[in-house]
Structure 1
Amino acid sequence: MTSRTLHDARVVETTDVAVGARRVVLEPPTGARRRADPGTHLDVRVEVPGGRPEIRSYSVVDSTPDGSRLAITVLRSPTSRGGSAHVHRLRPGDVLRCTAPLQNFPVRIGAQRYLLLAGGVGITALAATARTLTRLGADVDLVYAGRSRDRMPYLQDLQAELGDRVHPAVSEEGDRLDVDALIARTAREAPGTEAYVCGPLGLLDAVTRAWRRHGLPPTALRYETFGSSGRHSAQAFRVQLPALGIETVVEPGSTVLESLQRSGADLMYDCLKGECGLCVLPVRHVDGLVDHRDVYLSEQQREAADSLCVCVSRVAAGPQGREPLLVLDLP
């Protein structure tokens, strides 16, 4: 297992590759250089408002074979808690604290067919996989969905390299992605397909539901998130953890986990993306609507609303208009 030790990587290049998307090329120190296989990411230390250091994860878009240079691409989000803004401020010569490449999204070589489905900046997790599978002569299709071409990083580069294996779905051009039709066609024509998906929560939910509805094996569907905007706008809400005597407010730019930590709670967590389930806490009571922003809990668990991934999920005001409140237990 690759160490999560942080090293000083030097920024050697920064380029805008789409509206709001910045490519940053890093040069790790000699002792921390590792080959970045498809699906790898870097854990990066960023400075968020208030001067607090936090860890964010960004996919490795491409790299040199020896890992002497690694590229990440980060979308400047208007709802960012500070991580994307920190990366966008970097200039050549700056130093970024980061890990060697870490693997959470490996591709299995040898499948009958591959469907890669990227939503927006989710392409960063799939670009290297698409290139590798194409180079190996695999049967692969890359479906790349976005609002407009100028907001789709690397679209032209991938089309030039991979040709008709790339299938853009551009909403502003009237070609909005029909997830159910895509999965239905996959089930009908190539049921041996393995799918790799990265994008916002809405896309992952749609793919997961369609995959199940059309009877495809769940083990052939793999995904990674780059963050979720949720179903409700982020708003402040109170959170209580009676077992530790904590009551605090979760601001729109923070998370339940961060707010509880600042109040002294020592909680377990890992991915900070709602994928691993390590941070799940039982819900004792809630006033308002639980906005599950994870991909760990099952649909039945979400409907029950008796547990919550505190690293990403939130509470929004309900129809009664009362101040939203979340009361948690320790497991």
Structure 2
Amino acid sequence: MTVVSLTVALLTPTPAIAFGGEDAYGGAEKNEISASASQSRIKVTQAAGPTGGKQGTVSSTDVNWEPPPCWYEPIFTPEQLKNFSENDGNGDVALRQGWIGSKLWTDHFKDEKDAPNYFGTPRTAKGYKNYNLGKDGYFWRGVSTNVSEVDDTSLCSRLMFWQDAGEIPDDPNAPTPKTLADYAYNKVKVPETEVALKPAAKSTVNLPTWVWLDKGTFQEVKVRADLPGTGLWAETTAKPVALHLEPGTKDAEVFPASGDCQINDDGSIGTPYTKGNADKTPPCGIRYLRATNGTPYQLSASVTWQITWQGSGGTGGNLPDGTFETTQDMNVQEIQSINR
């Protein structure tokens, strides 16, 4: 006698509740599924900008901005779904609903048996005949990079459903070029900010420290996101527009007073120090008013990146500015006179 074990697991913001026996899995975070709703098929490539050296992602200046919590994506062709259902059968059939056991998949997608939907609507999903083999299109399902953070359990919760080729689902959670632009926002890698200083080794109390970045140090960074099977794409571009300085102590003055050093027309920031300018006020710099006494100040240099996007269908617009910050040690000495 052959015993077939079938499992339905509900993926919720808390660890999943599972039904069906020993094969039940406890949550999407365990990565025990081969068709995971937490893995997007969006392909991201860097289209322009530097690729070497130390890099990091930008932080949005708008604390209320967030990318979409979830969206629908094409997951399987009929042939791929047939192979998965009959040779694997362990995966997510919806954003929060996992099926373990081939029979659950073959019953619904091959043998036309209806299936319950525990979160989305309709509450019962009509079955399919023989995986829709011979038809041109894809089976779609909800995707989220972090299912546990999708508080509204009704979002993106349809059971895997059919969509003809060349069509986007008529659903408020269907992907758009803006969805891809938002997704690419967190994939933009910008170079670390290491400013040139004069004096470089030690600053001196009451004498200005000149700060600058040579032209070519910062270039636009462009990231392209494509969603296969949809024709949707977006390019998200980050352009450096300003450098902000924080001296790391209240006992200091910054130039300009706002601490915001604008980027010059040639792409440089500030003005390089030249001999004879020791007592002049730099267009971008710092004057420390107290020595460090063994513990260096932490000079923070933060570059603001203006983020824009353009996408398929002539779409485009602006996204919140992003910032990327680095720090470096500043030792400050106190002497009565100095020649530079």
Normalising TM by the smaller chain, what interval? under 0.3
Q: Report which of the two structures shows the higher radius of gyration computed on alpha carbons.
A: 2
TM normalised by structure 2 equals 0.21
* Higher helix proportion (structure 1 or 2): 1
TM-score (norm 1): 0.22
Q: Which has the higher contact order (CA 8 A, sep 6+)?
A: 2
